Amino acid sequence: MKDIMECTDDYLMLELSINKAVRVDLTYQPEETMSHVDEQYPYVEYVTKVSLGYQKLLNFINNTEGECIIHGNCPNCKEATYYKVGRGYELDKEMLSLVLRSYVDEQIDCEDTYIPDPDFEMRNKAETLVRKVKFFDKKFQCPKCKEVYRASFALEYHEKLIEDVYDCEIVLIKIGQYPSLQEFAIIDFKGFNKALDALKIKNDYRNAIRNHIDGDNIAAYVYLRRIVENIIMDSYRDNKKKLNISDNEFEKLRTKEKISTLKDYLPKFLYNNKEIYSVVSAGIHTLTEQQCEKYYDTIKDAIDIILHQEEARRKELNLMKKTTKGIQSAVSEIES
Ligand SMILES: [Zn+2]
């Protein structure tokens, strides 16, 4: 079972299968010492907070850290989009409080004060949350076609007493999804996911789509340009030894010349259509919003083709490396 700390909102909403669960660790945070110096009577406060997993769960249920945005295909529009996700359950202030206990110096010396046990408070908080919420739905809407979709979750609290020590956890279970996961999962970058990750441009790619949907195509071009620049720079870093050119010299080249220099190492489509870069740059500097909108689909398709080729290039390179190694070890085994 995955830990909730490893899971993105995208994963929980659109990738986690039905009846699958993630675990919420309930190990509370180490006690923090907070000095209140700017008050009339300075004092020291000791604060213990709920576990990080629990904080993440609260955020997932209630969007405590602000807007929740996920990315996937819209089953209705049949294209990549982003969704704003609503709250799953309105939690009150007390339920949302991250503090398990806090006390000040004076309280330690005073016999009558009860200083709570964080272990008990953590279990109590978790159990109360699960009892109260139990089931919740997270609705999300496609900004383009306004269709509303839904994912449903359940919470369970598990507690075991092992040799006087409580072992407890919350599990978050996906219990439903409408429509089915597959319909969201055909995200149109699935074909070049690895290249997006390797080049660290997944967010740029998503932001381009998001800005386009929101009608801000000039901003979308900024992200598309960044994708092209990243592909060029990454290819330069990987191959500069073979190119016989200094960083300084390369830096001074115009983008078209950079692409020419990297001819053998870039996706063919980018090399054959170097003007793509000029168009996205013009979008940022000289084109109007209307012009940017008009060319968006073409530019986006071009970038998709480039990314597909980049993914294939990386795949082939890896396969060649692996196979060469395999041949070498076979040869050395035969010869020995
Ligand atoms: Zn839609």
Q: What is the pLDDT of residues 292-320, one digit of tens each?
A: 999 999 999 999 999 999 999 999 999 99
Place of tokens 């020291």: 44
Mean pLDDT for 20-46 is 89
Please say if the pLDDT value at position 10 is more than 70: yes
Per-domain residue ranges for the chain?
2-185, 190-328
The CA 310 to ligand 1 mean position distance, Å, reads 28
How would you label 193-229 residue by residue, b for 16+ Cβ within 10 Å and e otherwise?
Answer: eebbeebebbebbbbbbbbbbeeebbbbbbbbbbbbb
Nearest to 300 by CA among 283, 323, 321: 283
The CA 73 to ligand 1 mean position distance, Å, reads 8
Peptide bond into 30 cis (omega under 30): no
The CA 215 to ligand 1 mean position distance, Å, reads 15
pLDDT for res 336: 78
Mean pLDDT for 65-82 is 87
pLDDT for res 60: 96
The CA 204 to ligand 1 mean position distance, Å, reads 21
The CA 144 to ligand 1 mean position distance, Å, reads 5
The CA 237 to ligand 1 mean position distance, Å, reads 39
The CA 79 to ligand 1 mean position distance, Å, reads 8
pLDDT for res 154: 97
The CA 251 to ligand 1 mean position distance, Å, reads 42
Nearest to 61 by CA among 93, 91, 20: 91
- Tell me the pLDDT band of 262, cut-offs 50, 70 and 90: very high
Residue 31 and residue 29: Cα distance in Å, rounded?
Answer: 6
- Tell me the pLDDT band of 74, cut-offs 50, 70 and 90: confident
Please say if the pLDDT value at position 17 is more than 90: no
Mean pLDDT for 316-333 is 93
The CA 321 to ligand 1 mean position distance, Å, reads 42
The CA 81 to ligand 1 mean position distance, Å, reads 7
The CA 188 to ligand 1 mean position distance, Å, reads 14
* pTM of this structure: 0.71
The CA 13 to ligand 1 mean position distance, Å, reads 16
Please say if the pLDDT value at position 111 is more than 90: no
